[in-house]
Amino acid sequence: MNQTRRLLTDLFDIATARAHPAQCLPAHLPPPPDGRLIVLAGGKAAGAMAETAEAFYRPQMPAERIAGLAVARHGYGRPTRLIRMIEAGHPVPDEASLTAAGDILALAESAGPDDLVLALMSGGASANWVAPAHGLSFADKQAVNRALLRSGAGIGEMNTVRKHLSRIKGGRLARAAAPARIVTLAISDVPGDDPAVIGSGPTVPDPTTLADARAIVERYRLDLPENVRRALNDPANESPKPGDPAFANTTFALVATPAASFSAAQEAVRDAGYACVFLGDQVEGEARDVAARHAAMARDLQRQGKRAIILSGGELTVTLRGKGGRGGPNQEYALALAQALDGSHGIAALAGDTDGTDGGGGSADDPAGAYADGTTAARARAAGLDPAVFLADNNSTEFFSRLGDLLETGPTFTNVNDFRALIVDTP
């Protein structure tokens, strides 16, 4: 690995490490309750969050008063002893997601006034906890998830639809656990760190409405089963709003955010002797369009003779145009960037998802993202690969795999969304 690629990788690792539950969670954990501690963890960091919480509470209270369930995507489980661990589907839920959500609701409903329900939320919980609204089947929920993932909708829009088709999302878990005290600690993977969006906000009020969900369905022309459309017109599926009694004994706190991770990365950039150009942690948009803008910015900095690193986070989207291609938004960004930087020397980039997987088929060994620079397109052509063809087919994983340019980290056990870094040096 050359020096430039090593620096890019180090920046990614520094940002990810800042958000690992072992580092960020203990300081936020509340004192043990008088009654039971019921840990309900969901999302890609659920295993590591539950493992950290269990290690914190075991010396402080009897084991028989600690219970709970952690549900993470396949490959993201951790070896807990008192809190049961389940691995479930992501981004498309599976049968384990359905079973787990039922067990989560049952645990919440068992909580009494002296108990503490500790909800540990992270990105991915929307798929890991699936409890279809009455009248909907599991197959209906899977169809909704697939349609949303193909549509190019943003994470907030996707969760607005999901929350109105669920018995657990959008504040309904808080309703199930009342009157117990509910403390939610969350690792944010969403632009703006909105509690109602992280994991589809199962323990917080939901400001979105059924009408909002229907508007999203129409905006993206989603092809949904007819009973899903009926459910989105049923007033019984409206989510609890601010002021609902379900939230009278609840608190919420963020333990890790994209901003904190980028703060660590910015410090490392300066330590490496580069100027830092931070575009924010809330960048959204079509991956290939954002890549074109970032390439132009990097070239402009180079023309000015500046030695800099451009950092950005957020969550990009991909509108599927091809047939059967593989790759997530970070890999597609890197592929579009490679085209835009074709022939530019002294510019190199990494784009990756801090959870360790970018798109893919739901396997723990899916790539986290990819590297790209001004030589990528030329190297591809020399290998008989046409970058434009792979981009048109949304097939970035195969493209970068054949070049040896995938970012492959394995599970990171956290998730603070996308991380992108472009190094700009003199040509």
Which tokens belong to 418?
């996308």
Mean of pLDDT values over 324-349: 94
Same domain, 313 and 283: yes
Question: How distant, in Å, are the alpha carbons of 136, 155, 289, 318, 330 from that of 285?
Answer: 32, 11, 7, 9, 12
pLDDT tier at 334 (50, 70, 90 boundaries)? very high
Mean of pLDDT values over 326-355: 96
Mean of pLDDT values over 121-134: 93
Q: What range does the domain containing 184 cover?
A: 20-256
Q: Give residue 324's pLDDT.
A: 67
Same domain, 9 and 78: no
Torsion, CA 299, CA 305, CA 308, CA 313, rounded to 10: -20
Residue 2's CB is within 10 A of a number of other CB atoms, namely: 9
User: Is the model more confident about 176 or about 152?
Assistant: 176
Q: 135 pLDDT exceeds 80?
A: yes
- Residue pLDDT, tens place only, 12-53: 999 999 999 999 999 999 999 999 999 999 999 999 999 999
Phi first, then psi, for residue 361 (nearest 5°) are: -100, 15
Same domain, 93 and 231: yes
* Contact present, 282 and 313 (Cβ < 8 Å): yes
Partners of residue 41 on adjacent β-strands: 70, 120
Same domain, 313 and 252: no
Q: What is the CATH number of the domain that holds 343?
A: 3.40.1480.10
Same domain, 291 and 397: yes
Same domain, 191 and 76: yes
Same domain, 155 and 288: no
Q: What is the CATH number of the domain that holds 248?
A: 3.40.50.10180
Task: State how far Cα 329 lies from the chain centre.
Answer: 12
SS3 for the chain is CCHHHHHHHHHHHHHHHHCCHHHHCHHHCCCCCCCCEEEEEECCCHHHHHHHHHHHHCCCCCHHHEEEEEEEECCCCCCCCCCEEEEECCCCCCHHHHHHHHHHHHHHHCCCCCCEEEEEEECCHHHHCCCECCCCCHHHHHHHHHHHHHHCCCHHHHHHHHHCCECCCCCHHHHHHCCCEEEEEEECCCCCCCCCCHHHCCCCCCCCCHHHHHHHHHHCCCCCCHHHHHHCCCHHHCCCCCCCHHHCCEEEEEEECHHHHHHHHHHHHHHCCCEEEECCCCEEEEHHHHHHHHHHHHHHHHHCCCCEEEEEEEEEECCCCCCCCCCCHHHHHHHHHHHHCCCCCCEEEEEEECCCCCCCCCCCCCCCEEEEECCHHHHHHHCCCCHHHHHHCCCHHHHHHHHCCEECCCCCCCCCCEEEEEEECCC
Which tokens belong to 21?
């539950």
Same domain, 269 and 245: no
Rounded Cα distance, 330 and 317, in Å:
9
Same domain, 205 and 231: yes
Q: Give residue 361's pLDDT.
A: 73
Share above pLDDT 70 across residues of the chain, in percent, rounded to a whole number = 100
* Domain's final residue, options 218, 240, 256: 256
* Domain's final residue, options 256, 280, 297: 256
**In 3D, which of 120, 211, 205, 129 has the Cα closest to residue 170?**
205
Residue position matching structure tokens 């023309």: 303
- Residue pLDDT, tens place only, 209-239: 999 999 999 999 999 999 999 999 999 999 9
Please name the amino acid found at residue 144. V
Q: Give residue 364's pLDDT.
A: 87
Q: How many domains does the chain have?
A: 2
* Contact present, 186 and 121 (Cβ < 8 Å): yes
pLDDT tier at 1 (50, 70, 90 boundaries)? low
User: Measured at the alpha carbon of residue 240, what is the angle toward residues 96 and 229, in degrees to the nearest 5?
Assistant: 65
Residues 6+ apart with CB under 8 A from 95: 138
Q: 329 pLDDT exceeds 80?
A: yes
Same domain, 235 and 102: yes
Residues 6+ apart with CB under 8 A from 23: 17
Same domain, 189 and 325: no
Same domain, 32 and 166: yes
Question: How distant, in Å, are the alpha carbons of 125, 194, 233, 278 from that of 282?
Answer: 20, 12, 32, 11
* Domain's final residue, options 222, 256, 290: 256
Mean of pLDDT values over 196-216: 95
